[in-house]
A = this chain, B = another copy of it.
Amino acid sequence: MPRPKRSARRPSRPYHHGNLRRALLDEAIAIIGAEGLSDVTLREIGARLGVSRTALYRHFADKDALLAAVATEGFRALRRELVTAWEVGGRGDEAFRAMGVAYVRFAVANPAHYRVMFGGAVQSENPDPELAAEGHGAFNALVDPLASLQRDGLFRAEDPVLMATYVWALVHGMAMLAIDGKLAGLVEIETLMQYAFDRLRTGISAGAGRAGVDLPPARSTSA
């Protein structure tokens, strides 16, 4: 069922667009957010920008390169969310939980975009250094706070990269299950998060208290 294409070319735009690369990227992200990945088609992007379908090839090697750039933008935005949560939260124990919540909420709020960031559509072939760099950046937004909490004696003093990967797997898993609708009828994602972060804390915390007994009251992550 062919959607009615809006936005035929603006009557009098110059032959050269000026900043087409950026526009293509933004339009792709917009479509992903509004319609979904399957509606991201070179022809559709071109049509919306009033530009021909192959104009894109002057700015990206191919469609995968465009999606890699989309993914890169995603990691950049995600890192911003994480850093904000950490700093606004007070850079402590609770702020770390807030980062986890922010991570999952980002994925749930932008499911298609989040899938592009992972999902084999991209990374398998050409490694795209920019994407890798931005991905590491987002990961480090997790590692650094964690190492800091270890230094403060709040978390177990273990390889912070290993611990961060563990935490990453947990939030990524919750995000993916939520996005793919696998939690329907089981649990609300917010409920799962609160439970998971409690159990996570018990698992990695260095604090006193017997295992199986909750640590001091701590909860406030606006949920």
Measured CB to CB, the closest approach of chain B to A60, in angstroms, equals: 19
A135 and B182: CB pair below 8 A?
A: yes
Measured CB to CB, the closest approach of chain B to A222, in angstroms, equals: 21
Work out how many copies of this chain go into the complex.
Answer: 2
Given A169-B173, A192-B169, A123 and B180 contact (CB-CB distance below 8 Å)? yes
Stretch at the interface among A4-12, A13-21, A47-55, A158-166: A158-166
Given A170-B173, A202-B202, A204-B199, A180 and B120 contact (CB-CB distance below 8 Å)? yes
B180 and A165: CB pair below 8 A?
A: no
Q: Find chain B residues with CB under 8 A from A200 CB.
A: 199, 203
Top 6 A-B residue pairs of the complex, sorted by shortest distance between their CB atoms: A173-B173, A203-B203, A169-B173, A199-B203, A172-B173, A169-B174
Bound form: Cα–Cα A210–B168 in Å: 25
User: Does A181 interact with chain B (Cβ within 8 Å)?
Assistant: yes
Q: Find chain B residues with CB under 8 A from A205 CB.
A: 211-212
For A181, A186, A207, the residue with the greatest tally of chain B CB atoms inside 10 Å of its CB is: A186
User: Does A57 interact with chain B (Cβ within 8 Å)?
Assistant: no
